[in-house]
C-alpha cells in the first residue's frame, strides 16, 4: 500500500492498473474460488485507484498558487517618511551622529554641516519599506546573540517625527551581505530584513555631507569672471552667445575650451568642510564671480593657493558659511587660463580662384 501511494500517479500507471484488472478477471473468473479472489482484488484495486485520485488532488491543491495570500506587513507601519525631522545614529562603540531637517534641507552633526538630502531621504524611505517577511527569533537571549539588544547592538537608530514622537530600532548581525537582523524597541520580534545595512548608517560626518559645493547649471549663467594671476571676463549677449572681453579683430570664441572652463568651475565637489569657527591663513589667490538669472544674482567663490603637503585647496562660497577643501588638481587648469586661451583666430576663406578662358 505504502509503495503504491508513492508511485507517480500518471496516465501510464492508470493504464497499468486497468490491464492488471483485466488479466485477473480472465484468470480467476473460471471457478467459484477464483470469482471470490477476483472480487476481493477488484475491491482492493478500486480502493487503490480512489486513493491515487485523492493523492493527485492533494498535489494539485498544495502546489497551486494561493490567490488569498496577504502581503507581509510593514515593520514600521506608523512611519511616514515626510514627517521625519531628525535621525540619531549610534554605533557599537557609542559614537553618535545626529541629522536634522531644517526647512527643505538637512544639517549634519553639531556644526550643522550641509547634508546630502537625497541620500538621507532615500534611507528614510528604505526604513519605512521594511517588511515582516522573516521572523527569526523572539527570546531575550536571542537579542544578545543577534546583537539587537538595548545595550548590545551594531546600530541604534532613533527617528524623530514632527509631532514629537520617536521611533527606535536596533540593527545587529548580518547573516548575508544583503540582509541584517532588526528589532524594534519595545518589541520581542527579531526580523531578518533586506535592503538595509549597518554600513549605510555611518556615524561620521563625511557619510552624510553634501559634497556638491558649487552646483550651477551653465545655461543659467549670464556672466562669469575670474580674477587672480590671470583675468577672464565672460558675458552673454542678447542671443545668449558667449563673448570674451579683450577679443581682438578676427578672433572668435574657442567653444570647446570655453565650454570646458565653464563646466569645470560650475560643478565643484569637495572632500571636506572646515569647522564653523575655522579661520583661513593668508589671502585668497583668486576669485570666481558667477551671475545667474534675469536679475543677475551674484555668487562669489574665493580660492586659496594649493596646499603642497595635503594636495588640496581651500575654497569659500558666499552662499555657504563653511570653508571647504577640494583636490588641488580640479582647479589647476582653469586657474591657469587667460582670455587669449579661450579665443582663436577666425578662419579666413580661401581666395577665389580665377580661371582663364581658353582661346578657341
279-311 b/e (C-beta count within 10 Å ≥ 16 → b): eeeeebebebebbbeeeeeeeebbbbebeeeee
The reported pLDDT for the residue numbered 356 is 44
Q: If DSSP codes are grouped into helix, strand and coil, which group holds residue 193?
A: strand
Residue 291's nearest CA partner among 227, 193, 221 is: 221
- The residue assigned the cell 527569533 is 137
- Return the half-sphere exposure (C-beta side, CA atoms, 13 A cut-off) of residue 257: 15
Pure H helices in 165-216: none
One of 2.60.40, 2.50.20, 3.40.50, 2.40.160 is the CATH number of 81-207, namely: 2.60.40
Whole-structure pTM value? 0.72
Asked if 188 and 255 touch (Cβ cutoff 8 Å), the reply is no
Cα–Cα dist 226/340, whole Å: 13
pLDDT, residue 240, reads 85
The C-alpha atoms of residue 323 and residue 360 are separated, in whole angstroms, by 84
φ, ψ at 129 (rounded to 5°): -90, -5
Question: Which triple of cell numbers denotes residue 80?
Answer: 511616514
To which residue does cell 545655461 refer? 219
Residue 351 grid coordinates: 581666395
How is residue 305 written as a grid cell? 593657493
How many whole angstroms separate alpha carbon 174 and alpha carbon 352?
Answer: 78
Kindly give the interhelix angle for 32-63 and 11-28, rounded to the nearest 10 degrees.
170
Distance CA 106, CA 182 (A): 26
| Cell digits of residue 132 | 515582516
Mean pLDDT, rounded, for 14-37: 60
Lowest mean pLDDT among 11-25, 182-196, 222-236: 11-25
Specify the DSSP class assigned to residue 152: S
pLDDT interval class at 51 (50, 70, 90)? confident
CA distance 145 to 152: 9
DSSP for 54-77? HHHHHHHHHHSPPTTPPPPPBTTT
Residue % of the chain over a pLDDT of 70: 82
Tell me how far apart the alpha carbons of residues 286 and 315 are, in angstroms, rounded to a whole number: 10
Report H helices in the chain. 2-5, 11-28, 32-63, 117-128, 140-145, 255-266, 329-335
The residue ranking higher by pLDDT, 47 or 168, is: 168
| Domain limits, the chain | 2-59, 81-207, 212-345
Split at pLDDT 50, 70, 90, the class of 291 is: very high
Amino acid at each position: 500500500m505504502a509503495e503504491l501511494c508513492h508511485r507517480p500517479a500518471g496516465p501510464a500507471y492508470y493504464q497499468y492498473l486497468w490491464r492488471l484488472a483485466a488479466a485477473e478477471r480472465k484468470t480467476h473468473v473460471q471457478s467459484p474460488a477464483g470469482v471470490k479472489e477476483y472480487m476481493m482484488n477488484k475491491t482492493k484495486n478500486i480502493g487503490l485507484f480512489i486513493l491515487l485520485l485523492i493523492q493527485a488532488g492533494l498535489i494539485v491543491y498544495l502546489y497551486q498558487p494561493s490567490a488569498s495570500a496577504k502581503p507581509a506587513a510593514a515593520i514600521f507601519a506608523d512611519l511616514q517618511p515626510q514627517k521625519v525631522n531628525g535621525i540619531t545614529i549610534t554605533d557599537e562603540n557609542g559614537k553618535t551622529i545626529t541629522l536634522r531637517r531644517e526647512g527643505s534641507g538637512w544639517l549634519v552633526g553639531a556644526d550643522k554641516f550641509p547634508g546630502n538630502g537625497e541620500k538621507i531621504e532615500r534611507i528614510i524611505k528604505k526604513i519605512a519599506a521594511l517588511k515582516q517577511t522573516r521572523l527569526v527569533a523572539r527570546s531575550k537571549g536571542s537579542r544578545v546573540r543577534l546583537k539587537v539588544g538595548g545595550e548590545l547592538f551594531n546600530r541604534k537608530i532613533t527617528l524623530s517625527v514632527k509631532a514629537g514622537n520617536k521611533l527606535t530600532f536596533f540593527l545587529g548581525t548580518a547573516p548575508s551581505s544583503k540582509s541584517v537582523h532588526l528589532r524594534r524597541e519595545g518589541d520581542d520580534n527579531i526580523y531578518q530584513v533586506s535592503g538595509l545595512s549597518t554600513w549605510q548608517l555611518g556615524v561620521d560626518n563625511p557619510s552624510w555631507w553634501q559634497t556638491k559645493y558649487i552646483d550651477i547649471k551653465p545655461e543659467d549663467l549670464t556672466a562669469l569672471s575670474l580674477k587672480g594671476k590671470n583675468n577672464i571676463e565672460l558675458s552673454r549677449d542678447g542671443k545668449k552667445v558667449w563673448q570674451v572681453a579683450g577679443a581682438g579683430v578676427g578672433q572668435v570664441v574657442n567653444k570647446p575650451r570655453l565650454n570646458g572652463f565653464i563646466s569645470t568651475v560650475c560643478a565643484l565637489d569637495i572632500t571636506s568642510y572646515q569647522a564653523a569657527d575655522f579661520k583661513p591663513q593668508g589671502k585668497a589667490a583668486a576669485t570666481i564671480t558667477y551671475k545667474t538669472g534675469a536679475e543677475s544674482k551674484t555668487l562669489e567663490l574665493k580660492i586659496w593657493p594649493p596646499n603642497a603637503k595635503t594636495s588640496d585647496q581651500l575654497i569659500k562660497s558666499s552662499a555657504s558659511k563653511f570653508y571647504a577643501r577640494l583636490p588641488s588638481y580640479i582647479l589647476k587648469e582653469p586657474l591657469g587660463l587667460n582670455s587669449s586661451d579661450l579665443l582663436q583666430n577666425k578662419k579666413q576663406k580661401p581666395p577665389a580662384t580665377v580661371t582663364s578662358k581658353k582661346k578657341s
